[in-house]
Structures are given as structure tokens and as C-alpha cells.
Amino acid sequence: MRIYETDIATPLLLGTAQYPSPKVLQNAIKAAGCEIVTVSLRRETAQGTGAGFWDVIRQTGAKILPNTAGCHTAREAITTAQMARDIFETDWIKLEVIGHADNLQPDVFELVHAARVLSADGFKVFPYMTDDLVVGEKLIEAGCKVLMPWGAPIGSGQGLRNPDALRAMRAHFPDIPLIVDAGIGRPSDAAAAMEIGMDAVLLNTAVAKAGDPVQMARAMAMAVRAGRTGYQAGPMERRDVAVPSTPVLGLAELV
């Protein structure tokens, strides 16, 4: 996967919230072979973890993708992104603009506006979006070179609620990296996302809240690789009827 002129070998991105301890977080990132981790500037600042938390992340060697989690307007998101660029010295930003308090669905109008402003300001924007083709087109027009459609609401663990919409996105945007973001609960969900042609999966709660986060991170890494390999191999089409695998020719005739 190539995103904003950067080659990414591991199709699994991890969030860094809710882990039992910094050590568990570090071990989970290592077990997943994760190259990119997301960090919420607003969440960590509010919790007062400060520089110590950033040091924990930097020690993993993973590239930091700051996000604008918790922002509900384009103005909030733009300001948070600018602060994150100063702190982390990166122009990458995962853009979240939440529009619904219960299901954390993105406000796509504010999202597109913020993406346009940030792209013009030199940011490389990773937009968290719904699985909508028109929204995807508007985000690309705004300057985004990657799209991050949700699988299901954040933290729900419901898996892929609308796989047909994701397939449609893959067909409609054949040359745009697509990363399923949010809703993945099990390794089978991650594999399913990759099998339908997604380029990567971003998840957090499924690993952080597992009984053994490190083992779950390892399982998710294997799942995304298996799903990607299966997609590249060209899986057989589903059939409505049984088709025998043993040839009929050559069977004995009983008289």
C-alpha cells in the first residue's frame, strides 16, 4: 500500500487508547508489526499523560498519525490538526468530525469542508467517513488521497454492517487506498474487509479491550494478511447450487 508517497508494508493500523498499560500497548504494536498508530491529541491532553505517552509511542518505531477525535465542527478539527502538526512534527492527520453523539457518525458536510481547508494548508488528510460514494468523491476533490470508510460505529465491534457498500467503493475508487476504520470486533471481521478489496484496516477497541491485547493484535495481523492474500488470489464466486468436484465421466455403470 502506498499512501501520500509512503510505502506501507503492514495493512493493519492501531489506535492507542484504552490499553491496560503502556507496556501492553507497546507489546501489542510489536505483535501486530504495526507501522502506523493513531493518537488523539485531545484525549491524551485531557488525561494529562503528556510527553511520557508520546515517548512510549515513539519507542515503538511506528509512524504517528494524529487524529481529531472528539471534534464536532470543522473549525475544531482544523485547530486540533494544526496543534498536532506542531507537536508531532508531521503533516499527516486522521480527520474526524463527529455529527451524531450516539453512533459517532461523521458529519460529512463539516468533514469535507475541513478536508479542503487542511489539504490547502499542506496536510495529508486521512478522512474518517461513511461508506458513501458521493462523499468519497467530494473528499478526493478536496485533496484527500486516501479514504477511510467505517465498517460500523466506533467501538461497537459489529464488524462490516454494509459490505456491499464497501465493495461498491472498491469498484468506484480502484486507485484510491481504502482503509476500513471503526467497527471491527474480531479477526474474522478484519479478514472479511481485506477479502473484499480494502487496502488496510484501522482498529482500536477490539485489541485494547481484548482479554489478551497482545494475542489479539497478533491475531488481527494474521487476519488482515490472510484476507489480503485471499483477495489477490481471486476467490471463487458464490453459487446458488452445489457443483460436484469429482468428474462424472469415468464413473462405473451398474447394470
CA 225 to chain centre: 14
Is residue 82 situated within a structural domain? yes
What is the reported pLDDT for 47? 47
- Tell me whether residue 155 is annotated as binding: yes
Is residue 255 situated within a structural domain? no
Is residue 87 situated within a structural domain? yes
What is the reported pLDDT for 38? 93
Cα 136 to Cα 130: distance, rounded to the nearest angstrom = 9
pLDDT at position 150 over 90? yes
Active site positions, annotated: 94
Is residue 219 situated within a structural domain? yes
What is the reported pLDDT for 248? 63
Is residue 1 situated within a structural domain? no
* Chain segment 90-114, per-residue pLDDT in tens: 999 999 999 888 788 999 999 999 9
Is residue 243 situated within a structural domain? no
Provide the domain limits for residue 110: 8-233
Q: How many domains does the chain have?
A: 1
Is residue 149 situated within a structural domain? yes
- Tell me whether residue 81 is annotated as binding: no
CATH of the domain at 224: 3.20.20.70
SS3 149: strand
Nearest CA among 202, 166, 206, 204 for reference residue 186 = 206
Is residue 96 situated within a structural domain? yes
The fraction of the chain above a pLDDT of 90, given in percent, is: 68
- Tell me whether residue 204 is annotated as binding: yes
Could you tell me how many residues make up the chain?
255
